[in-house]
Structure 1
Amino acid sequence: MPLEKADLELIEVAQNTIKKLYKDGKHHIGAAIRTKTGKIYSAVHLEAYIGRVSVCAEAIVIGKAISEGESDFDTIVAVRHPDPTQKEQKIEVVSPCGICRELISDYGTETQVILKGTDNYIKKKIHELLPDKYIRTE
């Protein structure tokens, strides 16, 4: 699915958030989410010395939006700030990890995710990134 102007703006919000809040060893992933009402929220991940305690930026931005009363999500994106020692210093779009894919799908089965394709950015619905998701039956 091709990107629209609003998607490029969402990427820019995530990039600006991580540029502003990047801290080596603490925050290197930023995320932004657009709700169906058009509001945009952004956040960074929280890295911890003990990896299990770390929290992904996607989880934090979803929680931030929910805390503000939003529950219908349109599109989400995550970006990674390069390590200061890397030659290339471009902030790039990154794919959500498996846990984030589960979380995104739990809170919006139709949510679109912006990804870096071979030649450009693309969008996919979360269920395309997490096919045959386990569904709890009561």
Structure 2
Amino acid sequence: MDTTPLTDTDRDLVDRVVETNEKSFDDELLDGAHIVAAGVRTADGSVYEGVSLPASIGRASLCAEPVAIGSAIADGYSHGDVQTCVAVSYPMPDHDADEVRTVPPCGVCREMLVDYNDQMRVIIPVEGANRVARAVELLPGRTW
């Protein structure tokens, strides 16, 4: 998978989503809710954010990435307008993490990102540093 370094705009997006993650985490709901926050940047530079929405019934839970994309779509942007995505996770004791960190999208979210823009730039951790990959590269075996 080819990756590229982050731009200053990418770093600003990560910083903004980290702030959202830190302020939205709720340790009183479901043993820690809104653990993941995500942000997407549109072609005109607008940023939309979302947080994970856990539920007592697992199937009702939502990841942060579709919440962020849904916010952009609800505000009038089309799928092709969503250009960059990043997700960050709150440090939970059972996650072996001491600080908020960038996390790659889960498999379901990878599929969704490709559906909305297969060339979307996705910020992911690679060997200890944040890098950018194209959404389609996160699904190298996709045949449809």
Scaled by the length of structure 2, the TM-score of the pair is 0.87
- Which deviations, in whole Å up to 9, do the C-alpha atoms of 1:93-133 show, x marking residues without a partner? 00000100011111111101001111311100001001242
Residue of 28, 33, 46 corresponding to 1:39: 46
Whole-angstrom CA distance in 1 between matches of 2:101 and 2:66: 19
Identity, % of aligned pairs?
Answer: 39
How far is the alpha carbon of 1:14 from its aligned partner?
Answer: 0.9
Size of the alignment, in residue pairs?
135
Judged with a 3 Å threshold, the aligned counterparts in structure 2 of structure 1 residues 85 and 119 are, in CA distance, closer, same or farther, namely: closer
Q: 2:59 aligns with which of 52, 56, 59?
A: 52
Segments of 5+ residues of structure 1 without an aligned counterpart are none
Equivalents in 1 of 2:127, 2:101: separation in Å? 13
- Distance in 1, matches of 2:12 and 2:135, equals 20
Instruction: For residue 85 of structure 1, report the CA deviation from its aligned partner.
Output: 7.4
Gaps of 5+ in 2: none
Alpha-carbon distance change, 86 to 113 in structure 1, aligned in 2, over 3 angstroms: closer
- Please report the TM-score for the alignment, with normalisation by the length of structure 1: 0.91
Q: CA RMSD in A?
A: 1.6
The letter for the 1-side match of 2:42 is T
Q: Secondary structure at the match of 2:5?
A: coil
Instruction: Tell me how far apart the structure 1 counterparts of residues 60 and 87 of structure 2 sit (CA, whole Å).
Output: 19
Residue 140 of structure 2 corresponds to residue 131 of structure 1: yes
Name the aligned partner's letter for residue 76 of structure 1: C
